[in-house]
Amino acid sequence: MRRLLLALPFALLPLALTAHAHADHDHEHDHAHGSLGAHEHGVAHLNAVLDGNTLELELESPAMNLVGFEHVAQSDADKAKVAAVRAQLEQPLKLFGLSAAAGCKESDQELESPLFGDAPAKDDDGDGDEHEHGHSDIHAHYRFECAKPEQLASLDLAPLFKTYPSTQKIQLQLIGPNGQKGVEATPNSPRITF
């Protein structure tokens, strides 16, 4: 299921080596293997891989960006907010602008977060987890099958920024027909070309 995304770290190794040179294995700054980047409020991370007619998107965001808090929901209002965000994430075609001409249909999705009742992910040392530091992330993985992938020239993140205004930037790693690249999207510049 995650065949393409499992290959992504190897394809992006040159980029990772540069970033890794500036970071320690400090839990406060680097939640390496289990996540796509450091936990920073206002910043989300997205991997996008277009291979043949398959598009995979993997989003990781601090819960603060999407829900407005990172603690396990106790109050009815907090529980309702978590349920609403989960319902939004279950409709990725409303969050990620894909060209209608490409004919992309969602074929699979996985949503994970301690806020959704999932067990916390272990860190890369296996001796603890990021949640011991008071951080909760939301992880979403989507797979789409596109009838005409050649029509998929860009990815518009404007709907995602509009739905979650606390997200100020999205750091992307893209692999597509034109190679691989790392880019940053913001509410003022939300469209990314493959």
Residues 65-79 have pLDDT tens digits of 999 998 989 999 999
Task: Identify whether 30 is part of a domain.
Answer: no
Q: How confident is residue 178, by pLDDT bands cut at 50, 70 and 90?
A: confident
Q: What is the pLDDT confidence band of residue 134, given thresholds at 50, 70 and 90?
A: low
For residue 7, the tally of other CB atoms under 10 A from its CB is 13
Confidence band, pLDDT 50/70/90 cuts, at residue 138: very high
Q: What is the mean pLDDT of residues 158-166?
A: 97
**Residue 53, domain member (yes or no):** yes
H or E, element range at 162:
helix 158-163
| Confidence at 38, pLDDT banded by 50, 70, 90 | low
14 falls in which pLDDT band (50, 70, 90)? very low
Residue-range definition of the domain harbouring residue 59: 3-20+38-118+132-193
Question: CA nearest 170: which of 181, 186, 158, 153?
Answer: 186
Residue 29 lies in a domain: no
In a domain, 27, yes or no: no
Residue scoring higher pLDDT (30 or 159)? 159
What would the pLDDT profile of 89-109 be if each residue is shown by its tens digit?
A: 999 999 999 999 999 999 999
Residues β-bridged to residue 90: none
| Average pLDDT of span 106-116 | 96
Q: How many domains does the chain have?
A: 1
Question: Residue 31 burial by CB count (10 A; 0-12/13-18/19+): exposed, middle or buried?
Answer: buried
Domain assignment present for 170: yes
Which pLDDT score, from 0 to 100, does residue 127 have?
41
How far apart, in whole angstroms, are the C-alpha atoms of residue 156 and residue 193? 9
Kindly state whether residue 138 falls inside one of the protein's structural domains: yes
Over 60: is that where the pLDDT of 11 sits?
Answer: no
For range 45-61, the mean pLDDT: 97
Residue 121 pLDDT > 50, yes or no?
yes
Strand runs (DSSP E) across the chain, as ranges? Answer: 43-51, 54-62, 104-112, 137-146, 154-156, 169-176, 179-185, 191-193
Residue 78 falls within a domain, yes or no?
yes
Q: What is the mean pLDDT of residues 164-174?
A: 96
**Residue 126 belongs to some domain of the structure:** no
